[in-house]
């Protein structure tokens, strides 16, 4: 197996964006720069973080965009809650449906939901991205799901899709934010495939997963990666970070505490991550 490195950034709402940014900034401050990966996989909130941290902006700027209220982009009021969206998906999965059928049904719900206008949501995503071009390196992969067919798609620099549209699609939580129109199709959250999509790091010898939310699929993905000979480390919220998330990860008020808790956790995790990365 090639000794290439992959960074996997999972879904987690506004709090997840802030926390992951803090973790990565804390690691960098401790001398562990993980954005020099060969591959970055960003799902939902993780797609926003991935686009930001591969933009070339310094960590001080990226962290300030989360901790300084004066540097933040405008946010919209969501049509529902993450808890409601997760409950809908879990209810469908409990019926014993195949994953593809679950994705199709959730996609249908997303298409029928009343949400903010698609253009308004895109403007928010655009405001979150300091640089709106795909990075030349590392390779950035952003998963989403086609709403009608339920088919997963992977956007990257070769897909011909605008970076803002790719991130908006991956962040389109069903029933909360509008599906995103790209060409003649509409797309919803990449977390509908899985919250982290760590299996997309297959073929890489060292994999770091930064996972804001618990994901039952992640354990299977990590087992598959390690079974293929990869070394894998997972950073999940510690007690302080979990408290900073609060009860609603879409609440903009979680940004500063989540980013600060993530930064502290990143510094604390630096030795463990360095053993993998370096």
| pLDDT of res. 262 | 98
| pLDDT of res. 38 | 97
| pLDDT of res. 89 | 67
Catalytic residue among 165, 189, 215, 221: 189
> With 0-12 CB in 10 A as exposed, 13-18 as middle and 19+ as buried, what is 162?
middle
Count CB neighbours of 220 within 10 A.
13
Q: How far apart are CA 278 and CA 274, in angstroms?
A: 5
189 is an active site residue: yes
Name residues whose C-beta falls within 8 Å of residue 112's C-beta, 6 or more positions apart in sequence: none
> With 0-12 CB in 10 A as exposed, 13-18 as middle and 19+ as buried, what is 199?
middle
**pLDDT (tens digit, 9 = 90+) per residue, 68-114?**
887 766 788 887 776 677 677 667 766 778 899 999 999 999 999 99
**pLDDT (tens digit, 9 = 90+) per residue, 35-80?**
999 999 999 999 999 999 999 999 999 999 999 887 766 788 887 7
> With 0-12 CB in 10 A as exposed, 13-18 as middle and 19+ as buried, what is 126?
middle
**pLDDT (tens digit, 9 = 90+) per residue, 125-176?**
999 999 999 999 999 999 999 999 999 999 999 999 999 999 999 999 999 9
Is the per-residue pLDDT at 1 higher than 60? no
pLDDT (mean) for 220-229: 97
Q: How far apart are CA 170 and CA 45, in angstroms?
A: 8
pLDDT (mean) for 250-258: 94
Domain boundaries, the chain: 5-76+115-277
Give the tokens for residue 132. 């709106």
Q: How far apart are CA 69 and CA 207, in angstroms?
A: 33
Q: How confident is the model at residue 21 (pLDDT cuts 50, 70, 90)?
A: very high
Count CB neighbours of 31 within 10 A.
10
| pLDDT of res. 84 | 73
| CA dist list (Å): 85 to 121, 176, 213 | 18, 8, 14
Fold type of domain 5-76+115-277: Cytosolic phospholipase A2 catalytic domain (3.40.1090)
Catalytic residue among 38, 44, 81, 170: 44
| Residue % of the chain over a pLDDT of 90 | 84
| pLDDT of res. 161 | 98
Name residues whose C-beta falls within 8 Å of residue 94's C-beta, 6 or more positions apart in sequence: none
- SS3 state of residue 156: coil
Which residue, 203, 237, 50, is CA-closest to 138? 50
119 is an active site residue: no
Give the tokens for residue 123. 């403007």
| pLDDT of res. 114 | 93
| pLDDT of res. 139 | 97
Mean pLDDT over each residue of the chain, to the nearest integer: 93
| pLDDT of res. 150 | 97
């Amino acid at each position: 197996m090639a000794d290439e490195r992959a960074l996997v950034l999972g879904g987690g709402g506004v709090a997840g964006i802030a926390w992951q940014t803090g973790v990565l900034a804390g690691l960098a401050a401790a001398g562990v720069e993980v954005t020099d990966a060969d591959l970055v996989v960003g799902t939902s909130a993780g797609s926003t973080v991935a686009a930001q941290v591969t933009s070339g902006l310094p960590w001080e700027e990226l962290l300030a965009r989360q901790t300084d209220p004066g540097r933040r982009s405008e946010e919209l009021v969501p049509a529902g809650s993450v808890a409601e969206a997760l409950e809908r998906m879990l209810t469908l999965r409990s019926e014993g449906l195949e994953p593809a059928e679950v994705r199709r049904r959730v996609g249908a719900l997303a298409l029928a939901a009343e949400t903010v206008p698609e253009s308004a949501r895109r403007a928010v995503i655009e405001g979150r991205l300091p640089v709106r071009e795909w990075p030349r390196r590392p390779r950035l992969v952003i998963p989403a799901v086609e709403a009608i067919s339920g088919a997963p798609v992977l956007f990257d620099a070769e897909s011909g899709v605008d970076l803002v549209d790719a991130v908006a699609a991956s962040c389109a939580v069903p029933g909360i934010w509008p599906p995103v129109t790209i060409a003649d199709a509409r797309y919803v959250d990449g977390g509908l495939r899985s919250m982290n999509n760590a299996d997309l790091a297959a073929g890489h010898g060292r994999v770091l997963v930064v996972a804001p939310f618990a994901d039952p699929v992640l354990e299977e993905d990590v087992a598959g990666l390690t079974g293929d000979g990869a070394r894998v480390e997972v950073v999940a919220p510690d007690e302080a970070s979990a408290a900073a998330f609060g009860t609603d990860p879409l609440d903009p008020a979680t940004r500063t505490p989540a980013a600060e808790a993530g930064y502290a956790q990143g510094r604390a995790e630096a030795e463990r991550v360095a053993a993998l990365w370096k």
